[in-house]
Chain A
Amino acid sequence: MTAPHSSPDAASARFRRTLLRVMAVQLATLLLLWLLQAHYTP
Chain B
Amino acid sequence: MRALDWVIVVVYLVYVLVDGVRRAKGTRELEGYFLANRSLPWWAVGLSVMATQLSAITLIGTTGQGATDGMRFVQFYFGLPVAMVILGVTLVPFLHGAKVFTAYEFLERRFDAKTRSLTSLLFLLARGLSCGTIIAAPAVVFSAIFGLDLVWSVALMGVPTVLYTMIGGVQAVTWVDVKQMVLIVVALIAVVVVLLVQLPVSPDDALAVAGAAGRARVFDFSFDVNETYTFWSGVIGGTFLMLSYFGTDQSQVQRYLAAKSVDEARSSLLMSAYWKIPLQALVLLVGVLVFVFYLFQAPPILFNPAHERAVRQAAPGALNALEGRYGSALAQRQAAAEAAIQARDNGDAQAVTVAMDAFRARAADAEAVRGEALAMAEAVTGESSRDVNYVMPTFVLHHLPVGLVGIFIAAVLAAAMSSIAAELNSLATVTVIDYYRRWVRPQGSDAHYLLVSKAATGFWGLFACVVATFAATLGSLIEVVNRFGSFFYGSILGVFLLAMIRRARPVGAFFGLIAGMAAVAAVNFGAPAVSFLWHNVIGAVTVVGVGVGLSALRASASPPAPPSSPSAG
Instruction: Answer yes or no: B216 CB below 8 A from chain A CBs.
Output: yes
Q: Is the interface of B mostly helix, strand, loop or mixed?
A: helix
CA distance A11 to B216 in the complex (A): 40
Of A4, A15, A30, A36, which contacts B71 at CB under 8 A?
Answer: A36
B192 to chain A, nearest CB (A): 15
A26/B219 contact (C-beta < 8 A), A2-B93, A3-B89, A33-B74 known = no
Chain B residues lying within 8 Å of A34, measured Cβ to Cβ, are: 218-219
Q: Is the CB of B281 within 8 A of A3?
A: no
Instruction: Answer yes or no: B90 CB below 8 A from chain A CBs.
Output: yes
CA distance A6 to B273 in the complex (A): 23
Q: Is the CB of B214 within 8 A of A4?
A: no
Of B97, B208, B212, which contacts A3 at CB under 8 A?
Answer: B97
A25: nearest chain-B partner, CB-CB: B274
List which B95-125 residues lie within 8 A (CB) of chain A.
97
Instruction: Answer yes or no: B447 CB below 8 A from chain A CBs.
Output: no
Of A1, A19, A29, A41, which contacts B500 at CB under 8 A?
Answer: A1
Instruction: Answer yes or no: B81 CB below 8 A from chain A CBs.
Output: yes
Q: Report the interface size for chain A: residues with CB under 8 A from the other chain.
A: 25
Q: Is the CB of B212 within 8 A of A37?
A: no
A32 to chain B, nearest CB (A): 8
Of A4, A14, A25, A40, which contacts B208 at CB under 8 A?
Answer: A40
Q: Is the CB of A1 within 8 A of B281?
A: no
0/1 per residue, A12-28, Cβ < 8 Å to B? 00110011001101100
A33/B71 contact (C-beta < 8 A), A22-B270, A41-B217 known = yes
Q: Is the CB of A22 within 8 A of B85?
A: yes
Which residue numbers of B lie inside 8 Å of A, CB to CB? 71, 74, 78, 81-82, 84-85, 88-91, 93-94, 97, 207-208, 210-212, 214, 216-219, 262, 266, 270, 273-274, 277-278, 281, 353, 356, 500
Which residue numbers of A lie inside 8 Å of B, CB to CB? 1-6, 11, 14-15, 18-19, 22-23, 25-26, 29-30, 33-34, 36-37, 39-42
A and B contact pairs by CB, cutoff 8 A, 8 listed = A4-B93, A11-B93, A22-B273, A30-B78, A37-B211, A37-B217, A37-B219, A40-B216
Inter-chain pairs besides A1-B93, A2-B89, 17 sampled, C-beta below 8 Å: A1-B89, A1-B94, A11-B89, A18-B266, A22-B82, A22-B84, A22-B85, A22-B274, A25-B274, A26-B81, A26-B273, A33-B281, A37-B71, A40-B207, A41-B214, A42-B211, A42-B353
